[in-house]
Chain A
Amino acid sequence: MTEPKDLFQQPAKPPAAAPDREESIDPAGGDRPRTLAATERVAKYFPVESTWFGRKGRFVRAVDGVSLRVRRGETMGLVGESGCGKSTLGRLMLRLVDPTFGRVVYDGKDITHHSQRELRPLRRRMQIIFQDPYSSLNPRMTVREIVGEAIRVHRLAKTRADEETRIVDLLEHVGMRGDAMDRYPHEFSGGQRQRIGIARALAVEPEFIVCDEPISALDVSIQAQIVNLLVELQERLGLAYLFVSHDLKVVEHVSHRVAVMYLGKIVEQAPSETIYRQPRHPYTRALLAAVPQPDPERKRVRLVLEGDVPSPIDPPSGCAFHPRCPRAVKGTCDREVPRLEDAPQARGATGAGSHRVACWNPYVD
């Protein structure tokens, strides 16, 4: 379960300690109940290329020194392309993956080194909705068993009738008919399976849900239903979400704040409306420009990024984005890693400090 100790020595060095401008997440640091789930310079390196003689010391730096916090009742959007580490970060926050460095904090408690047993009471409070509705549901269980399992494990229903009512309720919440109860996952479309997965997560009445690409598999009209459902549940139950997605349009819609990840690091973070109106990082800007707009009259913005995301095993030197970056400065961007710092402010802007960017040459307009 836990990483062998030598892992802590093998990678060259822990990520540089970026100055953290946000408040401390330690309970000792004062009364700050707003942050529910957080990481502090957390990293996850997966070893690759093991040989007969042990590890050769090469690592996929899936998450590389990320500090992120999710406040109670808020949606934190986490955007990036496949392989950027966004899903791993979500799993780190839930301690489904053990960090290589850094800390994981939940509700003021450092849970970085909690054992599985110590984590168990927390499991009811934090849930995850998975991306792939095909592999995340047990094909041999009926919907009743899938949704009911968590209710039973956590003893949330007193009687069988009570349990049944809850399951029907949950299914109706996610837009499914009650008669789905005694059917098996393979009898449903991908979209309906995802609804079952959501019902399962909601069954234990959690306060924090990592939504890992929850709507990618759904049809457009169904996506809107699920998004509304998630928003509604948040308002009613005060849920906090880490909304992991590559779909910028939906992330913008549901999120209060948004963080953009690239190769294991957060490159920009801001309140939702700020990041979309005044993106400062060239990568954020390219991502936004790449989203096709449902307006045939709109002139296409030709800002097509070239090349693929580089391998997280050998990330480029300096800023990991520099080989694809239209604004890269030779001698700086290819040598030094930029830190996540306050973004240049637009004139008249308020809320300094809430918009942060990791770039040597950010857009200023």
Chain B
Amino acid sequence: MPDEAPLLRVRDLVTSFRTDSGTLRAVDQVSFEVPRATTVALVGESGSGKTVTALSILRLVSSPPGRIESGSVELEGRDLLQLPERDMRAVRGNQVSMIFQEPMTSLNPVYTAGWQIMEAVRLHQRKSRAQARARAVELLRLVGIPEPETNVDAYPHQLSGGQRQRVMIAMALACEPKLLLADEPTTALDVTIQAQILELLRDLQQRLSMSILLITHDLGVVAENARHVVVMYAGRVVESAPAKDLFARPMHPYTRGLLESIPRPEARAAGPVRRLKTIEGMVPDMRALPPGCRFADRCALRIDKCADEEPPLAPIEAAPERRSRCWRASEVSP
């Protein structure tokens, strides 16, 4: 059944950075899959390696200091890490595109929105200027920019934050990619605008049957948009599960801690302000990682074994779609 094969399969990906005080592995043996026409969320805090993972998929890690050391990134069975740079350029934008968190810094301020979309179109498709412009207008309409015929000539500063993110999305969609890497696409936006953009992405996903790798730290955004969730911590995948299972019953202490640290409106009682549950401590220094589990010194379930031996990302019995990197995975959510 060829259709059952995932669109993207990342295996044992290692990306490292050279720093003054040694080499650190920002992405360390990361494996996950993105099925067709599905949203998979990559969750983690800053420094967990989620953005570097996305950049590695597109081979956009700046080198030096970065280097993709090993592993494979298979898009429809073809390992992108083995492609010559010329072929890779055809993959970027055409089959895989990326949108970023800060639409103001990702758009070129001296060119109009339309010009930047036309550039994306003409780089990958043989189209005349007029055709490309028509396509730009069409794309702006698709992403919900009002009066696209006029706004195609607008400069980024003339657009609002939400509109700029729509232009970014229009650029990313110019060639109808199979996979969209969305790196914190709504983090810089207000909630009502965030709701619009997420709605737009869901709608576009259905219409274009595109897969989305949604990189975010907002578990609310994850819950409402992703079918599958991959949780990263200190360069490692620590848990991977279908969204509804993960939220109902996290099987890694870090995931559980993240979920518990969200303020829940329905639980807010009248009276004094309560404490939030927190994960004590800080992310370990990536240049001096402990030999055992990287979460161990923040973990309430820690046992002696955790400090000495890092657990593997192991499948959970009776839940074939789930994996957890914890010696006590079954005890996390009693």
Binding site for B on A (CB under 8 A): 75, 81-82, 175, 189-191, 219-225, 227-228, 231-232, 246, 248-250, 252-256, 271-273, 276, 286-287, 289-298, 300, 304-306, 308-309
B282 contacts partner chain A, Cβ-Cβ < 8 Å: yes
Find chain B residues with CB under 8 A from A219 CB: 45-46, 217
B291 shortest CB reach to chain A, Å = 22
Task: Report B215-228 CB contacts with A as 1/0, cut-off 8 Å.
Answer: 00111111111000
Q: Which residues of B contact A297 (CB under 8 A)?
A: 244, 247-248
Pair B223/A294 contact, Cβ less than 8 Å: yes
Which one, B191, B247, B263, contacts A290 given CB within 8 A? B191
B268 touches which one: A82, A252, A293, A298 (CB < 8 A)?
A252
Whether A190 contacts B46 by the Cβ 8 Å rule is yes
Give 10 pairs: A residue, B residue, CB < 8 Å, sorted on A.
A175-B282, A220-B218, A224-B261, A231-B275, A252-B265, A290-B192, A291-B191, A294-B220, A296-B244, A298-B223
* A272-B195 Cα distance, complex, nearest whole Å: 23
B45/A81 in contact, CB under 8 A: no
A81 to B192, CA, bound (A): 8
Contacts of B314 on A, CB cut-off 8 Å?
A: none
Query: Could you say which residues of chain B place their CB within 8 Å of the CB of A305?
Result: 192, 195-196
Asked whether, in the complex, the Cβ of B219 is within 8 Å of the Cβ of A294, the reply is yes
Given the interface pairs A273-B268, A294-B223, A294-B262, the reply to whether A221 lies near B199 with Cβ below 8 Å is no
Closest to B200 in A: A304
Asked if B247 and A295 sit within 8 Å, CB to CB, the answer is yes
> How near does chain A come to B51, taking the closest CB pair, in angstroms?
13
The residue in chain B whose Cβ has the minimal distance to the Cβ of A217 is: B46
Known A249-B262, A249-B265, A304-B199; judge A292-B218 contact (CB<8 A). yes
Inter-chain CA distance A231–B276, complex, in Å, is 10
B273 touches A286 (CB 8 A): no
Q: Which residues of the other chain, A, contact B262 by a CB distance below 8 angstroms?
A: 220, 249, 294
Minimum Cβ distance to chain A for residue B284 (Å):
13
* In the bound complex, CA of A292 to CA of B222 (Å): 8
CA distance A293 to B160 in the complex (A): 25
Question: A190-B46, A231-B275, A292-B220 given as contacts; is B263 within 8 A of A286 (CB)?
Answer: no
Cβ-defined contact, A291 with B220, below 8 A? yes
CA distance A304 to B274 in the complex (A): 31
Given A228-B276, A290-B195, A304-B196, 15 other A-B contacts at CB below 8 A?
A82-B190, A175-B282, A191-B46, A220-B258, A250-B263, A273-B268, A276-B265, A276-B268, A290-B192, A292-B220, A294-B219, A296-B244, A296-B247, A297-B247, A304-B199
CA distance A254 to B275 in the complex (A): 9
Complex contacts, B196 vs chain A, CB 8 Å: 304-306
- Please, what's the 1-or-0 string for B48-92, where 1 marks a CB less than 8 Å from any CB in chain A? 000000000000000000000000000000000000000000000
| Count of chain B residues with a beta carbon within 8 Å of a chain A beta carbon | 49
Which residues of chain A have C-beta atoms less than 8 A from B191's C-beta?
A: 81, 246, 248, 287, 290-291
* CA distance in complex: A309, B257 (Å): 36
Residues of A within 8 A of B248 (CB): 297
* B163 CB-CB contact with A under 8 Å: yes
Given contacts A292-B218, A293-B224, contact A221 B268 (CB under 8 A): no
With a cutoff of 8 Å between Cβ atoms, the chain B residues found around residue A271 in the complex are 270
Residues of B within 8 A of A296 (CB): 223-224, 243-244, 247
User: In this assembly, does B305 line the interface, its C-beta being within 8 Å of a C-beta of chain A?
Assistant: no
Q: Verify B47–A286 contact, CB threshold 8 A.
A: no
Name, among A223, A300, A308, the residue most crowded by chain B CB atoms within 10 Å (CB to CB).
A308
Nearest chain B residue, comparing its CB with the CB of A219: B45
Q: Does B279 contact A (CB under 8 A)?
A: yes
- Nearest-neighbour CB distance to chain B for A70, whole angstroms, equals 15
Of the listed residues A75, A221, A249, A291, the one surrounded by the most CB atoms of chain B closer than 10 A to its CB is: A221
Q: Which residues of A contact B199 (CB under 8 A)?
A: 304
Q: Please, what's the 1-or-0 string for B195-219, where 1 marks a CB less than 8 Å from any CB in chain A?
A: 1101100000000000000000111
Q: Which residues of A contact B258 (CB under 8 A)?
A: 220-221
Q: For residue B254, which residue of chain A has the nearest CB?
A: A221
Task: List, in ascending order, chain B residues with CB within 8 A of A309's CB.
Answer: 160, 190
B46 touching A294 by the CB < 8 A rule? Answer: no
**B114 at interface (Cβ–Cβ under 8 A)?**
no
Are B190 and A81 in contact (CB-based, < 8 A)? yes
A293 vs B265: C-alpha distance in the bound complex, in angstroms? 9
Report the bound CA distance from A331 to B198 in whole Å.
34
Q: Report the separation of the CA atoms of residues A253 and B264 in the bound assembly, to the nearest whole angstrom.
A: 8
Q: A220 to B45, Cβ gap below 8 A?
A: yes
> Separation in Å of the B242 CB from the closest CB of chain A?
9
Out of B46, B221, B274, B280, name the residue touching A189 (CB < 8 Å): B46
Contact of B279 among A221, A290, A308 (CB under 8 A): A221
- Give residues of chain B (147-200) contacting chain A, Cβ–Cβ below 8 Å: 160-163, 190-196, 198-199
Q: Is the CB of A253 within 8 A of B273?
A: yes
